[in-house]
Amino acid sequence: MRIAVGQFAATPDWKDNLAACQELTVEAERGGADLLVLPEGVLARFTEDRHRIREVAQPLDGPFVTELRASTVGGHVTVVVGIHEPSDDGRVFNTLVALRDGELVGRYRKIHLYDAFGDQESANVRPADEPPVVIEVAGTKVGLMTCYDVRFPELARLLVDAGAEVLALPAAWVRGPAKERHWEVMITARALENTCWVAASGECGPRNIGNSLVVDPLGTVRSRLAAVRGLAWAEADPGITAAARRALPVLANRRFAVDPTVIPLPLPLAGSGAH
């Protein structure tokens, strides 16, 4: 499977961001990509006013997804990208959509919210309580994760248990002390402990690190971008995956199963917001 991971800096205008996604989709299609992974939450750039997430959210049949779906008609590539989607409790879902040939072929709502490092995503975003999502792309099963999810190895393992050989990870990884190191370590760990590929796309720009990369089942970075807009490419060869799993049979050697039960979370405090 030919993978492209793409990154750009989102603007406050969803139409600009749609155009960026469309341009990268055309470039990925021309390059023969089977899978294009774009960043998380691309409807708008979010800085200090995180409540704006609620204002810019669009349903899955809204103009952003509808127009991006139209851009994939007649094409081969599967595009995975993140938006914010209204929910019925006043907050929004942080949602990944997978689009191919004009169709919505998958949807994943983020489970683990970024209530860390002084931030509080749950003030405006509702955590999902749904099973992991695996889609099929060019005969390969692809598991969907979003940003902070990468810090929770049990989700990656559940996706691999469901057959995933590739994990698609859209993100908007915030800058901070050692954060770029965390990003690469977590992605590499998820690849190694599951002997799978991880295709991670990070938004670039003043707030986020970019550094999109593809890591193979033995933890080698096969392709990466720095902090500029563009695409990085890699070939996720199933033969490499099979060879890695023979050489490093961690999935066969493990002694514990992962319980798929979702732990309920408390509601955010009234009046709470992002810090």
pLDDT at position 47: 64
Q: Is the per-residue pLDDT at 19 higher than 50? A: yes
Mean per-residue pLDDT, 169-182: 95
116 located within any domain: yes
258 located within any domain: no
pLDDT at position 267: 62
253 located within any domain: no
Contact by Cβ (8 Å): 231, 31? yes
Confidence of residue 114 (pLDDT cuts 50, 70, 90): very high
189 located within any domain: yes
Task: Look at 204 and 52; give whichever has higher pLDDT.
Answer: 204
- CATH number of the structural domain spanning residue 238: 3.60.110.10
Q: Which residues are catalytic?
A: 40, 110, 147
Please give the angle made by the CA atoms of 14, 126 and 36, to the nearest 5 degrees. Answer: 45
pTM: 0.95
pLDDT tens per residue, range 245-260: 999 999 999 999 999 9
Q: Which of 10, 16, 24, 5 is nearest to 53 (CA)?
A: 10
259 located within any domain: no
pLDDT at position 52: 83
66 located within any domain: yes
In percent, how much of the chain has pLDDT > 90?
88
pLDDT at position 268: 57
Question: DSSP for 39-64?
Answer: -S-TTS--SS-TTHHHHH---TTSHH
In percent, how much of the chain has pLDDT > 70?
95
221 located within any domain: yes
pLDDT tens per residue, range 208-231: 999 999 999 999 999 999 999 999
For the chain, the average pLDDT equals: 94
Mean per-residue pLDDT, 112-141: 94
Report phi then psi at 17, rounded to 5: -70, -35
The total number of structural domains in the chain stands at: 1
214 located within any domain: yes
For the chain, counts of helices (H) and of strands (E): 7, 12
Q: Which of 111, 148, 151, 147 is nearest to 265 (CA)?
A: 111
Domain that holds residue 175: 2-247
